């Protein structure tokens, strides 16, 4: 049977390194109209023809809303130390100013069950499912949304306090702000540089406003945020500027304000007319200290500056790609983490909060032979180890995802799970990649006795 091998002295084999699996609310829950939940921007977006492949939506998804108990048991069976999930804002605050006890109870059951089975819980407050009633008031283009987020963070953290082991304010603000409000390919489907940058500033402000609230209500938990990063590589020597701009727009824009208290100059110079209105004090709010940084890594970009002086992604032909078309490039993860350590003197400990591969998996004779994913995890675990050896403090690794789920604009076509989901019967089947994770964790636990 496949098993991931880690170098014998790897810090990742020690019991204080956290191995986990991750999911998010809209991608797995379903129960869209149950338990007092009101629509999010993703319910609205999915209803617009042509926005999501096959017209898919998250109304049922993995039906985790009903199957959560068996899903949590399955997570525990894998032998992981932690489960990373997100809370649907509109289950907790279904209408402005209203708190829904049923929503809180839904997550409380999951959290309690995880703890009862010996796992920690990492909870993200915002994984892109903004309540639709807030979008109707401008969504992230409206500064007020940042304050609404702080109120929501207060409700959740007052209720759960230290029961949530690790809080994340945001997941991948680059995606929610830029894909949603700049490039229009995610909800709410708005296009425009000005809009994208404004949404990003308000999202970062939301993070900063929530930090002291979370610390007050959950003083013994850890607090931070999760960013995604695709390191850039130059197509040729003349493309260094393209590399700098690409990384500055995609992730420095979101990490610099937190760790340096400023937005990167290269972006401000590039888009002088699209910069958001930053009020006095905003940057101090956003740069409140964090306990950890979550980093999501999938692949890299190879870039060049085209004849119009615009950064272009180069499509590589002769490289290995996953079903979604992303290059398999484990070295990028090591390079990224090392580069982060060099860029930020005050880089806090890192969790790899997502890493994984999309496949076109199916069950044959009860088995899912996702060989490519097994290799993907093996090489990326090694890449994580290499970054640790190079001096980066990495405290955990979460596989994306626990199970196949609603992959946003790609619908259900792209399967990222280490567990296969049959969407007709809601049967879960452990893929080879899950079994290999389980086998590695069993061996690690035995070694740590
Ligand atoms: O499915 C997403 C997840 O919601 C956020 N990070 C990237 C994953 C794969 O695209």
Cα–Cα distance for residue pair 324/218, rounded to 1 Å: 39
Q: Is the CB of 354 under 6 A from ligand 1?
A: yes
Distance from the CA of 407 to the center of ligand 1, in angstroms? 7
CATH topology of domain 10-448: TIM Barrel (3.20.20)
Q: Which residues are within 8 A (CB) of 291 and not within 5 positions of it... i.e. 6 or more apart?
A: 222, 223, 224, 348, 349
Cα–Cα distance for residue pair 197/206, rounded to 1 Å: 14
Q: Is the CB of 25 under 6 A from ligand 1?
A: no
Average pLDDT of every residue of the chain: 98
Looking at residues 262-277, what average pLDDT do you find?
A: 98
Distance from the CA of 300 to the center of ligand 1, in angstroms? 15
Q: What is the DSSP letter of 160?
A: H
For 41-91, what is each residue's pLDDT tens digit? 999 999 999 999 999 999 999 999 999 999 999 999 999 999 999 999 999
Looking at ligand 1, which atom is closest to the CA of residue 356?
9
Residue to substitute in 42, 251, 358, 400 for testing ligand 1 pocket (most ligand atoms within 8 angstroms of CB): 400
| C-alpha pair distances (Å), 30 with each of 63, 349, 434 | 5, 34, 23
- CB atoms closer than 10 angstroms to residue 284: 10
Residue 109 has φ and ψ, to the nearest 5°, of -60, -45
For 365-414, what is each residue's pLDDT tens digit? 999 999 999 999 999 999 999 999 999 999 999 999 999 999 999 999 99
**Residues 88 and 103 sit within 8 Å (Cβ to Cβ):** yes
Cα–Cα distance for residue pair 360/103, rounded to 1 Å: 33
Residue 354 annotated in active site: yes
Q: Which residues are within 8 A (CB) of 277 and not within 5 positions of it... i.e. 6 or more apart?
A: 198, 201
pLDDT of amino acid 419: 99
Distance from the CA of 272 to the center of ligand 1, in angstroms? 30
For 311-343, what is each residue's pLDDT tens digit? 999 999 999 999 999 999 999 999 999 999 999
| C-alpha pair distances (Å), 155 with each of 169, 305, 365 | 13, 46, 47
**Residues 43 and 58 sit within 8 Å (Cβ to Cβ):** yes
Q: How confident is the model at residue 449 (pLDDT cuts 50, 70, 90)?
A: confident
Distance from the CA of 243 to the center of ligand 1, in angstroms? 23
Q: Which of 29, 113, 135, 354 is catalytic?
A: 354
Domain boundaries, the chain: 10-448
For 77-111, what is each residue's pLDDT tens digit? 999 999 999 999 999 999 999 999 999 999 999 99
**Residues 154 and 104 sit within 8 Å (Cβ to Cβ):** no
Q: Is the CB of 42 under 6 A from ligand 1?
A: no
Q: Is the CB of 400 under 6 A from ligand 1?
A: yes
Pairing outcome for strands 292-296 and 222-228: parallel
E strands, 17-80, in order: 18-22
Share of the chain above pLDDT 90, in %: 99
pLDDT of amino acid 86: 99
Looking at ligand 1, which atom is closest to the CA of residue 407?
1
For 103-143, what is each residue's pLDDT tens digit? 999 999 999 999 999 999 999 999 999 999 999 999 999 99
> The tokens of 321 are what?
């790609």
Residue 399 has φ and ψ, to the nearest 5°, of -80, 135
List 293's β-bridge partners, or say none. 225, 350
Q: Which residues are within 8 A (CB) of 29 and not within 5 positions of it... i.e. 6 or more apart?
A: 58, 61, 62, 64, 65, 88
Residue 74 has φ and ψ, to the nearest 5°, of -65, -40
């Amino acid at each position: 049977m496949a098993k991931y091998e880690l170098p014998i002295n790897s810090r990742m084999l020690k019991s204080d390194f956290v191995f986990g699996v991750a999911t998010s609310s809209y991608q797995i829950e379903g129960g869209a109209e149950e338990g007092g939940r009101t629509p999010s921007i993703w319910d609205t977006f999915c209803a617009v023809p042509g926005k999501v492949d096959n017209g898919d939506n998250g109304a049922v998804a993995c039906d985790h809303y009903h199957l959560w108990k068996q899903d949590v048991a399955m997570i525990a069976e894998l032998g992981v130390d932690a489960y990373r999930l997100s809370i649907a804002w509109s289950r907790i605050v279904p209408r402005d100013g209203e708190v829904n006890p049923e929503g809180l109870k839904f997550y409380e059951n999951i959290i309690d069950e995880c703890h009862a089975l010996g796992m920690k819980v990492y909870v993200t407050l915002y994984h892109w499912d903004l309540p639709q009633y807030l979008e109707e008031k401008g969504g992230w283009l409206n500064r007020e949304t940042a304050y609404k987020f702080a109120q929501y963070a207060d409700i959740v953290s007052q209720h759960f306090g230290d029961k949530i082991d690790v809080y994340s304010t945001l997941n991948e603000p680059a995606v929610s702000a830029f894909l949603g409000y700049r490039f229009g390919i995610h909800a709410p489907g708005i296009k425009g540089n000005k809009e994208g940058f404004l949404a990003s500033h308000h999202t970062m402000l939301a993070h900063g406003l929530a930090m002291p609230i979370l610390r007050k209500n959950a003083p013994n938990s850890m607090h931070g945020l999760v960013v995604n990063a695709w390191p850039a590589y130059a197509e040729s020597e003349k493309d260094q500027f393209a590399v700098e701009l690409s990384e500055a727009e995609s992730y420095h824009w979101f990490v610099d304000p937190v760790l340096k208290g400023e937005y990167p100059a290269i972006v401000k110079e590039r888009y002088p007319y699209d910069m958001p209105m930053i009020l006095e004090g905003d940057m101090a709010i956003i740069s409140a200290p964090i306990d950890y940084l979550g980093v999501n890594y999938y692949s890299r970009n190879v870039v060049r500056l085209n004849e119009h002086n615009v950064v272009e992604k180069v499509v590589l032909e002769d490289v290995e790609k996953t079903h979604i078309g992303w290059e398999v490039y484990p070295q990028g993860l090591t390079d990224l983490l090392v580069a982060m350590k060099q860029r930020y003197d005050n880089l806090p400990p890192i969790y790899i909060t997502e890493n994984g591969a999309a496949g076109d998996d199916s069950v044959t004779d009860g088995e899912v032979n996702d060989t490519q994913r097994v290799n993907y995890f093996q090489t990326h675990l090694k890449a994580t180890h290499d970054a640790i050896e190079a001096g980066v403090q990495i405290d955990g690794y979460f596989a994306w995802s626990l199970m196949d789920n609603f992959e946003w604009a790609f619908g259900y076509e792209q399967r990222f799970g280490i567990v296969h989901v049959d969407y007709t019967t809601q049967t879960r089947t452990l893929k080879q990649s899950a079994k290999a994770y389980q086998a590695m964790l069993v061996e690690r636990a035995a070694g740590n006795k």
